A = this chain, B = another copy of it.
Amino acid sequence: MEDDLRMAAAIRRGLQAEGLVADVATRGEDALWMAGATEFDAVILDLMLPGIDGFETCRRLREDGVWAPIIMLTARDAIEDRVRGLDRGADDYLVKPFSLVELLARLRALARRGQAERPPMLEVGDLRMDPATQQVWRGEQEIQLSRKEFVLLETFMRRPGEVLSKFQLLERAWDYDYENRSNVVEVYVRYLREKVDRPFGVKSIETVRGAGYRLRKDA
């Protein structure tokens, strides 16, 4: 049970990483209700659902006119389960444990939908950032940033032109209750300038004395 929830979460994350969206139902009845309410592209069905069991859920889904592909997840050696499942209208099955690649491959085959949408690029003036690939460019030139530097720059680029206080920056990029007397932000702003501005002879990260910092809109 614990385990199943972990698995559901893992699958969900996996799908999200693929640019797909997933809803999770922990009980057969919920699954039926959800399927009735929304149109899904595919259904992944764990046979061990409490309440109405997986087979019955599958049968009823079909009965309710859900024609999306259904993939069933079965425990290790319950072989007969598969026949029952296939006969009740499932399209495929996976034996646990399985890897996400496997599941995704089967989903692709079944749902054959367009490839994943990627999180959009951030652009501020000359600066471009791809949050998905953790890459940053100024013009054509790629810039290598450390993790913290990247997160800090992302914070700026999501609020171009706005003044961000050191406290705001701390909250967002460090998510930590830092003591006020630390000067990490100042230090990291400096690192950023060193990599993002100086080599290009620009000054896109401005200091607003007494208030914080600001990334120029025309960075």
Contact = CB atoms under 8 A, between A and B. Distances in A.
B14 A172 contact: yes
Interface string A172-199: 1111110000000000000000000000
Q: Which of A6, A17, A86, A177 has the most CB of B within 10 A?
A: A86
Nearest to A148: B210
A104 interface: yes
A168 B155 CA distance: 24
B95 A79 contact: yes
B173 A99 contact: yes
A83 B79 CA distance: 13
A109 interface: yes
Contacts of A132: 162-163
A127 interface: no
A134 B208 contact: yes
A171 interface: yes
A211 interface: yes
Interface of A: 3, 6-7, 10-11, 13-14, 17, 69, 76-77, 79, 82-83, 86-87, 90-92, 95, 97-102, 104-106, 108-110, 112-113, 115, 118, 132-135, 146-147, 151, 154-155, 161-163, 168, 171-177, 208-211, 214
18 contacts: A6-B177, A10-B171, A10-B176, A69-B113, A76-B79, A82-B92, A83-B106, A87-B105, A92-B109, A99-B171, A101-B155, A110-B113, A118-B162, A133-B162, A134-B214, A135-B161, A146-B210, A147-B209
In the complex, the 4 A-B pairs of residues with the closest C-beta atoms, listed nearest first = A147-B210, A97-B175, A86-B109, A100-B172
